[in-house]
């Protein structure tokens, strides 16, 4: 039987051009743990803090240095470092605030790199060594002017880095894009005021990445659905990005966890089913098997992006035991065997057909082809009863 286990797994970035690695146990991410100490928000201010931009700048400079040093050292990549640090070590920051901060900090890091604002030790200096503004210092300025967002006077989510020649001129009116960002800051303010502690997050109303409760999001979706009419029944255009979010550890009950970001690129709302197909590989004969196929229903407005988490239905020990049983390993062989995660396929299902697919290794998509030598449906589903397992093929 053909297998794919010998091929190197490929991980795809969430931000173009940045390295992506899976989030694993905290002890394996000293860089993320170290950076997390610089990520705590400085808090909203009742009125604009005259020295707020300077305080935010001091915080950002340290963060940019950490991002660059990790990127140059071979990983985690700068963006993934931020994601990992926030998710694992700064849980008090809500999803809307975290997403905005990761976005602004990543943009500042990219711009700082383009301007050559790091020294030979990969420390952020703020001095421009590339381009028309060479010799000058970079400028930190607010994305939304303080008269429109005074409470965010020292928050990194409202700061950008630019060359002096691109600095906003005094008295310039905010652009439409900047005005739209005011809404994002309002969502963050609401999130921060309503989530005073991690306990209140867990016990209070659940909110999505836009700071909306499930009921609010559903109401907006229904309104779009009514306006779209029959168009909403069409198969949507969906884009998927995914990564391994966590390997087995005590904190996740020794399961594998995958994060998928699903974006509706259509100009109409839709309802889809997102399926995560976990694949493992047996220890002796290296045969692929299905670890689980969890699914989640998703109502999406036009242009909406959602992040979903999927976990394997069983833990690492259970997969090892079942794979050993499937291969009928001897006692000595069982003593040295281990459960191996192969990767995941994300499939978006719609009443009119498959809307999108993604795999952590593109080769795994061969399993979905009609003319494939080995099809997904023929693989043993070791998370189900042993009576459903097909005969083992040893390749002999």
Task: List pLDDT tens digits, range 124-181.
Answer: 999 999 999 999 999 999 999 999 999 999 999 999 999 999 999 888 888 888 888 8
Band of pLDDT at residue 253, cut at 50, 70 and 90: confident
- What does the pLDDT read at residue 29? 66
Whether the Cβ atoms of residue 295 and residue 275 lie closer than 8 Å to each other: yes
Q: pTM surpassing 0.85?
A: no
- What does the pLDDT read at residue 372? 87
- What does the pLDDT read at residue 174? 84
State the Cα–Cα distance between residues 257 and 269, nearest whole angstrom: 28
With H, G, I as helix, E, B as strand and everything else as coil, classify residue 357: strand
Residues 6+ apart with CB under 8 A from 203: none
Q: Give the range among 4-8, 344-348, 358-362 with minimum mean pLDDT.
A: 4-8
Radius of gyration of the chain (CA): 24
Paired strand residues for 344: 278
Q: How long, in residues, is the chain?
A: 396
Neighbours of 350 (CB within 10 A): 17
The mean per-residue pLDDT over the stretch 254-265 comes to 91
Question: How would you classify residue 135: left for phi > 0, otherwise alpha for psi between -120 and 50, otherwise beta?
Answer: left
State the Cα–Cα distance between residues 87 and 80, nearest whole angstrom: 10
HSE-CB for 94 with a 13 A CA cutoff:
29
| Phi, psi values for residue 159, rounded to 5° | -125, 145
The mean per-residue pLDDT over the stretch 199-223 comes to 64
- What does the pLDDT read at residue 6? 32
For tokens 């884009």, the residue is 239
* Residue 37 predicted with pLDDT over 50: yes
């Amino acid at each position: 039987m053909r297998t794919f286990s010998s091929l190197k797994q490929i991980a795809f970035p969430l931000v173009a051009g940045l390295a992506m690695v899976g989030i694993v146990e905290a002890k394996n991410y000293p860089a993320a743990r170290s950076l997390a100490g610089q990520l705590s928000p400085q808090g909203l201010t009742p009125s604009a803090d005259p020295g707020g931009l300077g305080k935010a700048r001091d915080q950002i400079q340290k963060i940019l240095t950490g991002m660059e040093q990790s990127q140059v050292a071979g990983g985690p990549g700068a963006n993934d470092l931020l994601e990992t640090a926030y998710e694992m070590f700064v849980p008090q920051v809500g999803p809307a605030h975290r997403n905005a901060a990761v976005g602004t900090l990543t943009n500042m890091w990219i711009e700082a790199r383009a301007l050559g604002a790091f020294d030979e030790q990969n420390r952020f200096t703020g001095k421009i060594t590339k381009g028309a503004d060479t010799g000058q210092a970079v400028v930190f300025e607010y994305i939304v002017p303080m008269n429109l967002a005074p409470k965010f006077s020292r928050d990194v989510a409202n700061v950008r880095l630019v060359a002096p020649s691109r600095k906003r001129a005094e008295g310039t009116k905010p652009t439409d894009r900047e005005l739209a960002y005011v809404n994002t800051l309002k969502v963050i303010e609401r999130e921060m005021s309503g989530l005073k502690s991690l306990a209140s997050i867990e016990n209070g109303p659940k909110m999505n990445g836009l700071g909306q409760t499930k009921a609010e999001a559903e109401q907006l979706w229904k309104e779009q659905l009514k306006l779209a009419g029959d168009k909403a029944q069409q198969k949507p255009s969906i884009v998927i990005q995914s990564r391994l979010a966590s390997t087995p550890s005590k904190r996740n009950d020794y399961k594998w966890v995958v994060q998928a970001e699903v974006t509706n690129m259509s100009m109409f709302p839709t309802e889809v089913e997102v399926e995560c197909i976990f694949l493992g590989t047996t220890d002796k004969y290296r045969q692929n098997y299905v670890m689980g196929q969890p699914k989640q229903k998703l109502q999406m407005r036009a242009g909406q992006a959602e992040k979903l988490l999927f976990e394997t239905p069983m833990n690492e020990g259970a997969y090892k035991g079942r794979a050993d049983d499937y291969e009928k390993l001897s006692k000595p062989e069982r003593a040295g065997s281990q459960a191996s995660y192969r990767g995941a396929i994300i499939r978006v299902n719609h009443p009119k057909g498959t809307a999108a697919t993604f795999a952590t290794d593109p080769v795994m998509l061969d399993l979905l082809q009609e003319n494939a030598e080995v099809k997904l449906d023929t693989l043993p589903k070791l998370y189900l009863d042993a009576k459903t397992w097909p005969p083992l093929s040893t390749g002999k």
